[in-house]
């Protein structure tokens, strides 16, 4: 039987509708409008699309969004100054710096400068630490989106072997950290470019999460029959979006799979809205 498709677009819409309803209630009861400030440096075409999609999603859900566009010539000091201003601006609840930044800028220093209570991307070490300890303030949007998909799709995780391919700070590491938390209880393996016989490791996965950045890296023969496959990858191949999993081959082996596009991507944006709403509530000490 071909794999069931985990419809990220539909799940994300449910989350966005929930955010919209709660935002409307917040505005009605308190006058507070959750506000996301996005910072875009330079004109990388993919980043332009991501930022536009995030802005559009905010507007649709009733959140305020402000885009700060800076030229490629922006210096580290200019960007730090803008972050400081946004940190102090009481009307701003979430700050997002679109990555990648131009090469002459130090992303780590920039991300560390964001006030942890406005760090809705959850990249600040304080938020990473809280998440690792199982008491998250914000959860990074992409791994949070994957967890939501597993939950809605009723994928059992306790005692199951989850294999995460990729160890980035944005996807792979937090993904593994969430899967191993008490209550989720997966047994987790992280693979990376130095993993030996990655195919053999992947074939032991009940849940396989691919965040590699290589088009169709995961082949059908790397999957255990019946595995649940979550494809985080977004790769552009000849103007087409392709995941990190060979979708056609995987469909014949897996029990469930996320498509690209229409899988993890829309979930990431939905979780960003959720984090911004949460930040607004926390800043005003609402439950
Ligand atoms: P990244 O920082 O480039 O990390 C890629 C990871 O894959 C690294 O840990 C790397 O290992 C590992 N890797 C590379 N080649 C490998 C190989 N041959 N075998 C095994 N592991 C290998 O990428 P990322 O930011 O995590 O993103 C991963 C993918 O997800 C990309 O396609 C990106 O576009 C996509 N993405 C999607 C969303 C979304 O919303 N859907 C959000 C973020 C990212 P080393 O550490 O050893 O180099």
**Residue nearest ligand 1's atom 18 by CA:** 193
- Tens of pLDDT, residue by residue over 18-61, are 999 999 999 999 999 999 999 999 999 999 999 999 999 999 99
Atom of ligand 1 nearest to the CA of 268: 40
Ligand 1 proximity of 198 Cβ (cutoff 6 Å): yes
CA 1 to chain centre: 30
**Cβ burial 220-245 (10 Å sphere, 16+ → b, else e):** eebbbeebbbbbbbbbeeeeeebbbb
Q: What percent of the chain has pLDDT over 90?
A: 97
Residue closest via CA to ligand 1's atom 39 equals 265
Spatial separation of the C-alpha atoms in residues 61 and 20, rounded to whole Å: 4
Where do the domains of the chain lie, and which CATH numbers do they carry?
30-116 (3.40.50.10860), 141-265 (3.40.50.720)
3-state secondary structure of 16: helix
Residue 116 structure tokens:
């942890």
Give pLDDT tens digits for 90-145: 999 999 999 999 999 999 999 999 999 999 999 999 999 999 999 999 999 999 99
pTM over 0.85: yes
Q: How confident is the model at residue 211 (pLDDT cuts 50, 70, 90)?
A: very high
Q: Which sequence positions are flagged as catalytic?
A: 54, 98, 121
Is 41:105 a contact under the CB 8 Å cutoff?
Answer: yes
What phi and psi, each to the nearest 5 degrees, are found at residue 231? Answer: -105, 105
């Amino acid at each position: 039987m071909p794999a069931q498709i985990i419809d990220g677009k539909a799940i994300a819409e449910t989350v966005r509708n929930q955010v919209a309803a709660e935002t409307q209630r917040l505005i009605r009861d308190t006058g507070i409008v959750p506000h996301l400030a996005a910072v875009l440096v330079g004109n990388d075409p993919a980043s332009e699309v991501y930022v536009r999609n995030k802005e559009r999603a905010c507007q649709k859900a009733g959140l305020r969004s402000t885009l700060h566009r800076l030229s490629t010539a922006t210096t580290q000091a200019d960007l730090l100054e803008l972050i400081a201003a946004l940190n102090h601006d009481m009307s701003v609840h979430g700050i997002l710096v679109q990555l990648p930044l131009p090469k002459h800028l130090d992303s780590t220093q920039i991300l560390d400068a964001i006030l942890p209570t406005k760090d809705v991307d959850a990249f600040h070490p304080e938020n990473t630490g809280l998440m690792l300890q199982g008491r998250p303030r914000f959860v990074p949007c992409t791994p949070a989106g994957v967890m939501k998909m597993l939950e809605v799709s009723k994928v059992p995780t306790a005692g199951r072997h989850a294999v995460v391919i990729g160890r980035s700070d944005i996807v792979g590491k937090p993904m593994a950290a969430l899967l191993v938390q008490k209550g989720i209880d997966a047994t987790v393996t992280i693979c990376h470019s130095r993993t030996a016989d990655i195919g053999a490791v992947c074939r032991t996965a009940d849940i396989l999460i691919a965040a590699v950045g290589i088009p169709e890296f995961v082949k059908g023969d790397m999957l255990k029959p019946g595995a649940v496959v979550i494809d985080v990858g977004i790769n552009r191949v000849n103007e087409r979006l392709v995941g990190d999993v060979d979708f056609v081959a995987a469909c014949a082996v897996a029990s469930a799979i996320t498509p690209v596009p229409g899988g993890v991507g829309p979930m990431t944006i939905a979780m960003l809205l959720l984090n911004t709403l949460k930040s607004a509530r926390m800043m005003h000490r609402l439950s």
